[in-house]
Structure 1
């Protein structure tokens, strides 16, 4: 089974996907980390994030062993990821990696912003996660401060709104729910309640099969 988790509510979404994968004994891939890894590699070398050719070259040389680097979760890298992920050739370079991950047994949970629409359009279950932008900003600010970062909530909110607008309007793989996706609003849900809601969606889908 392939479970696709998409949506603008990035904060907490990766945790949701990870928890869902653990519940079912599946593998988990936070695809946003892939684009963050590309952005971080370019930032580390002092490169221009708008250099599409270089971004493609970096994407083709990614080392999955480095996806766990905590610096990939920082706001600066997240902003960079939104820039490089808008490049059609970068997305193309990373599609096969994601699809192969999804296809390998015993099953997989992938979360990102184009899983149900582009990467795995035939996923067994598609969940589109949303939340009020101010709630997302508050959560992300608290997460950043917990990592020791000096995060300003209003600046985080501005970044969230800018990124959502950019992702919704990009020409390739725009952020939107798949026609058969189930919307999950976690504005008023903690992670435990969010996981329970996601499991209920998956179980309902399995019952219909």
Structure 2
């Protein structure tokens, strides 16, 4: 990257959307990026891709050194087609695979490894390009883009997040237990909030939005109002 291009990317505004699993941050991030014409970073997909590569390679999820090596050498890209973002691992579209529950749970464990987070840090920052970036994750506003002019922490009750996930899976024809989903979400929240590296928490200057009783359109409008207020 040339010096001029690097300067341009550093000046590109970033909107961070952080929050726990099932809060709706992925949906809001995508709608926001579409509305503004910004680039989109689904940071969670990077951890899911690392987890999937580890599972496919039968790597022990307690082997932190090997996990960091996988994270640092991932052959990945994101392709946009028909309004959807596809995650491509080693030339194969694995968008559906990385959403499987076993990969989700593995990703939560992988994300708690400091060496993995360090390996993926610069890769995430490289997504910052003009005209701007919407970054979706759990530590976008606290660690990855601490200078972002707009930071949102989107949350919802564990019960509501479990219900959303249940409806989503049922819509795909997947038979699941609502009780099991709720237990999984609570366990994931516990890991994410108490991990040593970049624990899940709103940045000091983040606006916290609770989406438990708010429709997606209302949440999007609140975030857009914030963007128009802070980014000229």
Verify: 1:113 aligned to 2:135, yes or no.
no
1:90 — aligned with what?
A: 116
For normalisation by structure 2, the TM-score amounts to 0.85
Query: Over the residues paired in the alignment, what is the CA RMSD in angstroms?
Result: 1.4
Give structure 2 stretches of 5+ with no counterpart.
1-12, 78-87
2:166 — aligned with what?
A: 141
Verify: 1:14 aligned to 2:26, yes or no.
yes
Task: Tell whether the 8 Å contact from 1:74 to 1:144 is kept in structure 2 after alignment.
Answer: no
2:156 — aligned with what?
A: 131
Deviation at 1:183, TM superposition (A): 0.6
Verify: 1:38 aligned to 2:50, yes or no.
yes
Large movers: runs of 4+ above 6 Å? none
1:162 — aligned with what?
A: 187
| Higher normalized helix content (fraction of residues) | 1
1:79 — aligned with what?
A: 105
| Higher normalized strand content (fraction of residues) | 2
For normalisation by structure 1, the TM-score amounts to 0.93
Deviation at 1:76, TM superposition (A): 1.2
Compare 157-166 and 1-10 and name the one that shifted more.
1-10
Post-superposition CA distance 1:45-91 (Å, at most 9, x none): 22221111111111112232316521111221111001011111000
Distance in 1 between the 2:173 and 2:73 partners? 30
Q: Per the alignment, do residues 84 and 9 of structure 1 end up closer, same or farther by CA in structure 2, a change over 3 Å counting?
A: closer
Larger Rg: 2
Distance in 2 between the 1:47 and 1:13 partners? 30
SS of equivalent to 1:48: coil
1:5 — aligned with what?
A: 17
1:100 — aligned with what?
A: 126
Task: Tell whether the 8 Å contact from 2:154 to 2:211 is kept in structure 1 after alignment.
Answer: yes
